[in-house]
Amino acid sequence: MFKCNAQFAVTPAQMFVVLQDIPHTIDWNPTIIMYKILHQFNAEVELNICTAASAAGGLISSRDFINLRTCAQARTKIPTETRDSVYIIGGTGVVADNWPHSPTPVQSGVVRGWNGLGGYLVEPVKGRESESICLVHWVINADLKGWLPRSLIDGAMCTAMTDWCNNLRAYLRDKKYPDNQKWSIKNGEIVLTPPAAGTATATATAAKK
């Protein structure tokens, strides 16, 4: 299991909008080369397949993962105070090789990996709730499958998480919010309207747990 903690100069609600829009992460995250929603159960729950690029200079070949994912805003003491809100994007691997709506056979040259429970938790920075800053906790609990040395996996995962933070920082700095996910806040809830301007910076540490 790996955990990454990073601060970004956007509000928790703004970060939630970007992170929950996984299909558009390919715009800023080069480690994701394909993402497909297999079934949308409701506004918060979906079944998807995600293909990751090869890593460690090609020593780790491309992997794909089938996941059940949910996104939600956690309740707070003051629900209307959006800057105090906590957001959760979580998921787990599922077996769906014979999913009737969209079969998911293993692709040629790709290894089918497995994701345990993991995801993102986005919260305000304690004592700085009035500022446009948030703290993101990211947990990866993945089994890449195959005969891979532990040291190779550890190095590749820590590098990937650090690169993820740097790429997201650049994406937010350039204000390239997805066109179909423009947002504003009304009564503590996200409303799809033109986005406010903002910049972002990030620092991150990735550590094996």
Average pLDDT, the chain: 77
Of 159, 160, 166, 193, whose CA–CA distance to 177 is shortest?
Answer: 193
Of 124, 174, 107, whose CA–CA distance to 13 is shortest?
Answer: 124
- pTM of this structure: 0.75
User: Domain containing 85: what range?
Assistant: 2-208
Q: Give CA–CA dist 157/141, Å, rounded.
A: 11
Model pLDDT, residue 201:
31
| Total of domains in the chain | 1
Q: Give CA–CA dist 118/91, Å, rounded.
A: 6
Residue type, 167: N
Per-residue pLDDT tens for 169-193?
888 887 644 444 444 444 444 444 4
> Which tokens sit at 130?
């009035």
Collapsed DSSP state (helix, strand, coil) of residue 25: helix
* Cα separations in angstroms, 49 against 41, 103, 120, 171: 15, 10, 18, 23
Collapsed DSSP state (helix, strand, coil) of residue 22: helix
Q: Give CA–CA dist 121/12, Å, rounded.
A: 10
Task: Please determine, for residue 162, whether its predicted confidence score (pLDDT) is greater than 50.
Answer: yes
Task: Please determine, for residue 59, whether its predicted confidence score (pLDDT) is greater than 70.
Answer: yes
Angle of helix 150-173 versus helix 12-20 axis, rounded to 10: 120
C-beta atoms surrounding 29 within 10 Å: 19
Model pLDDT, residue 27:
82
Q: Give CA–CA dist 90/138, Å, rounded.
A: 10
Model pLDDT, residue 99:
65
Task: Please determine, for residue 21, whether its predicted confidence score (pLDDT) is greater than 90.
Answer: no
Task: Please determine, for residue 83, whether its predicted confidence score (pLDDT) is greater than 70.
Answer: no
Model pLDDT, residue 5:
93
pLDDT band at 98 (very low <50, low <70, confident <90, very high): low
CATH number at residue 109: 3.30.530.20
pLDDT band at 137 (very low <50, low <70, confident <90, very high): very high
pLDDT band at 139 (very low <50, low <70, confident <90, very high): very high
pLDDT band at 118 (very low <50, low <70, confident <90, very high): very high
Name the more confident of 137 and 27. Answer: 137
* Mean pLDDT calculated for residue range 51-64: 89
* Mean pLDDT calculated for residue range 54-67: 90
Q: Give CA–CA dist 53/159, Å, rounded.
A: 13
Task: Please determine, for residue 168, whether its predicted confidence score (pLDDT) is greater than 80.
Answer: yes
> Which tokens sit at 32?
């994701």
Of 12, 16, 17, 21, whose CA–CA distance to 192 is shortest?
Answer: 17
